[in-house]
Each structure stands twice: as C-alpha cells, then as structure tokens.
Chain A
C-alpha cells in the first residue's frame, strides 16, 4: 500500500534539505557548464551565420543594383553607338549627294568649256581657211594673168590652160 508520507513534503524522516541544496547546486553548475561549453559556442555560430547571411544578402543586393546600373550603362552606350552610326550614315549620304552634285556640275562646266573651245577653234580654222583661199586665188589670178600675157592663145588653148592651171592649183593645195 501507498504510505501517505511519500506525498507529503518533509514528512517522515525529516526535511530533505540535502536534496534541495544538491539539486540547486547541480542545476547552477550544469547551466554554467553548458553556457561555457555548449550554448555559448552554439549561439556564437548561430550569430555568425546570421551575420553571414545578412552580409550575403546585402552583397547580393549591392551586386544586383550594380548589375542593373551596368546594364543601364550598356544600354545607354548601345543607344549612343547606334545613334552615332545613324549619324555617320546620314553624313556619308549627305556627303555623297554633295559630291555627286559637285561632280555633275564640274562635268557640265567642263563639257561647256570644251564645246566653247571647239567652237572657237572651228571659227579660227574657218577664218584661216578663208584667208588662205583668198591668198591662193590672188596668186592664181596673177599666175593666170602672167600666162595670158606670155603667149597669144587660141580660145581652146586658153581654156585648156585655164583648166590645167586650175587643176595644178588644186594639186598644189
């Protein structure tokens, strides 16, 4: 059977002061030892991990922002490059147009000048030819006249002579 004593504090063989003191002492020692050898290091590593994770997150955040910034920069650069290229092409086209215009104008002017020169040369040649003809005719007249004076000729002879002379003159030319 149960004895009532087992349930009543301090009943029976006296107050269990030793148990109380021992339990208290053991618990305090246990707590101190655990703090030094187990909980302390464990808390340390947990704190360390917490810091590590926080640092990693921060670094990730920073690199993300950096990447975004760089992307923006690259995009800007690309845009600028594209714009530059566009400008260059535009310039080249304008330049080409201008050059074409110039070349055409120059060619036109050149042809005009050539034509002018040719016309002038033709004129000069013509004048020279006319002058030369005139001189020839004069000489021929003198020649014919002298022949006529040299010898009394029949009409046929005279005619023949004239023809000969003219032919000769033609050969002379």
Chain B
C-alpha cells in the first residue's frame, strides 16, 4: 500500500510519471473509443454509434436540466469529453494496479488529487470565463453581490469551496475504492489459500460497486460542472 510515486524533475517542474502515463492512456482510450465508434456514421445508427448518441443525449439532458439549450449548447462537447474522460479514468484502476520497484505505475489518474483538482480548477475557470463572456463583466461582477451584498465574502468562499469539493469528491471516491481493492486483492489474498478464497467474494462485490461509483462520479462531475456553469451564465437563478 505504501507505494512511492515515480517522480521526475524536468524544467523545474515535478512530474509524476505514473500520472503522465495514466493520463495519456486514459486520453488515448477515450479517443479510440470515440473515433472508432464514429467511423461509419449512418442515418440509421448501429452498434457503437447508438451508444455514442446515447452519451450525447445523456449529456444534453444534463445540460438542459440546468440551463436552456441556447446557452448550454456550447458546453456540449466539454460535457461529453469530461464524462468520457472521467469515467474511463475511474475504470482504469479497477482491473489491476501495477507497481514496479515499489513505485505505483498503473492506477486511476483520478485517484490522484492533483489530477482531479486540475480538472476542477479548469472547470471553475471556464465557468468564470463564460460568465464574463456571455453576460459581460459588469453583470458578472454584480452576481457576486446577489441576492444580498453582505453575502459577498460567502460568494468568494463558495468559489474556492466549489473547486475543492468538485476535485476532492472525485479523488476521494476513486482513491478509496482503489485502496480497498488494494487491501483485498493485494494484502488479504496474498496471505494464502484461505485468504485468497476469503478475499475473492468481497473483491468481486467491491469491484462491481467501484464500477458503479466510477460511473456515478463521472456523472456527478459533469452534472456539477453544468450546475456551476449555469450559475455563472444564466440570468435568472
């Protein structure tokens, strides 16, 4: 459990090579799934195209439940990409973990707070950007004093709280899942035949639950992204 991270210093920045690897793998898988399923597009959808269209409709519904489609339509691609990327990232650490020289290489990229907080900050930054772009700087600034001006400090805190909760919720869920999986599969199952048998049932159950959690967390991440976005870009809330 006590694994080191393969850290490398380069150009004055610290890189966790495990994160670099997993981010790349997750991105590649998302890209491959998306591109392969949209190769033979047809008016009558079949197979993977159906799935992708379902994902698109799913994200469209998330956006529509938060804002009208006229303003929300521009976040469609962001939403789909986030959903796919976060979901795939969550699933990556489930089948196995790879350690080499006591360094953890294969895991969910979302089981690292740096990655999830990066995504969260990016989302919050985007909400501010679109808030200014769609409503103008004046309206955007005024929103910090609504509905009461004395709530201004709370509004500021809210922004940071939103960022932290958005990132840490995802991280916590996935990291906890992997820790427990590691304990079950790595420690309990390694104690012998009895341990292996004793571990297999809860491991299976926990794996199933982790798949569920991974999907749910991806959905929640996108949902909250759109909620925050709606707070910034819609005029009435």
Q: Which residues of A contact B (CB under 8 A)?
A: 1-3, 7, 9, 13-24, 26-27, 29-31, 33-35, 37-39, 41-46, 48-49, 52
Contacts and interface: CB of A to CB of B under 8 A. Distances in A.
Given A16-B15, A17-B13, A43-B56, A31 B77 contact: yes
A33 B109 CA distance: 20
B23 A17 contact: no
Interface in B2-53: 2, 5, 7-11, 13-16, 19-20, 23-24, 27, 30-31, 34-35, 37-38, 41-43, 45, 49, 52-53
Top 7 nearest A-B pairs (CB, nearest first) are A18-B15, A38-B34, A18-B13, A17-B13, A45-B41, A23-B118, A19-B19
Interface in B79-132: 80-81, 84-85, 109, 112-115, 117-119, 122
Contacts of B208: none
Given A2-B1, A42-B56, A16 B19 contact: yes
B78 interface: yes
Interface of B: 1-2, 5, 7-11, 13-16, 19-20, 23-24, 27, 30-31, 34-35, 37-38, 41-43, 45, 49, 52-53, 56, 76-78, 80-81, 84-85, 109, 112-115, 117-119, 122
B2 A1 contact: yes
B20 A22 contact: yes
B53 A27 contact: no
A30 B15 contact: no
B81 A34 contact: yes
Nearest to B78: A31
Contacts of B56: 39, 42-43, 46
Contacts of A34: 30-31, 34-35, 77, 80-81, 84
A16 B16 contact: yes
A13 B122 contact: no
B21 to A, nearest CB: 10
